[in-house]
Amino acid sequence: MRARTIPSLLLTLFALSGTPLQAAEVAPETHYAPTENLESIDVALIGAAKSRIDMAAYILTDHAVVDALVAAARRGVKVRIVIDPTQKQAYGRLAPLRASMRQKRERPIMHLKAYAIDGALLRTGSANFNDSALKHQDNDLILLHDPASVARYMAAFERIWDAAAPVPAAAANP
């Protein structure tokens, strides 16, 4: 991660620390791979979660991101993940989270690359949760602290979650 992005990431982590901030105090942040390592940003954000993470992932194979999600669940964070079943996923590594995962049943495909943390932060953008997208391709990662944006994502996530199916045990243990 470039040095100039550290202050904005620290501000984001500060916002997740429970210290109240007004939405206007934290402008949207945009980060770009490959000049920035988006994986390290995702891992730091997931590591800062205190109560819940609601993720919609087209592709979820990045080991560091998956490990951060598993670690969050182990420390008591409620983690919910909706994946697209047509794409390769890190099912073996995600096995500890299988009970809190669902997959889309049918069209349209689940193409989001987003998550909300503690109902206060929305991470979105073009970067899939895989090594190539987070570190080597031209992709963006956008962080929004706007309560209305987070609420709109959460409403969409709930709709997707409710329509999704549990991940079959056979998929989680390839």
Check residue 156 and give its pLDDT. Answer: 96
Check residue 11 and give its pLDDT. Answer: 52
Structural domain of residue 108, as residue ranges?
33-172
Instruction: Specify if 15 maps to a domain.
Output: no
**Measuring CA to CA, which residue among 38, 26, 11, 3 is closest to residue 133?**
38
Say how far apart CA 103 and CA 164 lie, in whole Å.
5
CA angle centred on 82, ends 66 and 33, rounded to 5° = 50
Instruction: Specify if 128 maps to a domain.
Output: yes
Q: Dmax over Cα atoms in the chain, in whole Å? A: 46
Domain harbouring 141, CATH code: 3.30.870.10
Instruction: Specify if 5 maps to a domain.
Output: no
pLDDT band at 19 (very low <50, low <70, confident <90, very high): low
Say how far apart CA 172 and CA 93 lie, in whole Å.
9
Instruction: Specify if 21 maps to a domain.
Output: no
102 within 8 A of 166, measured Cβ to Cβ: yes
Who has greater pLDDT, 109 or 146?
146
Question: How many other CB atoms are found less than 10 A from the CB of residue 133?
Answer: 24
pTM of the model: 0.84
pLDDT at 23 over 50: no
Q: What residue has token string 């920035």?
A: 36
The total domain count for the chain is 1
Question: How many other CB atoms are found less than 10 A from the CB of residue 126?
Answer: 14
Instruction: Specify if 20 maps to a domain.
Output: no
Instruction: Specify if 2 maps to a domain.
Output: no
| SS3 of residue 150 by DSSP | helix
Q: Which amino acid is at 23?
A: A
pLDDT at 5 over 70: no
Q: What is the pLDDT of residues 33-48, one digit of tens each?
A: 999 999 999 999 999 9
Instruction: Specify if 42 maps to a domain.
Output: yes
pLDDT band at 27 (very low <50, low <70, confident <90, very high): confident
Give me 23's structure tokens. 């939405």
Say how far apart CA 63 and CA 53 lie, in whole Å.
17
Say how far apart CA 130 and CA 12 lie, in whole Å.
22
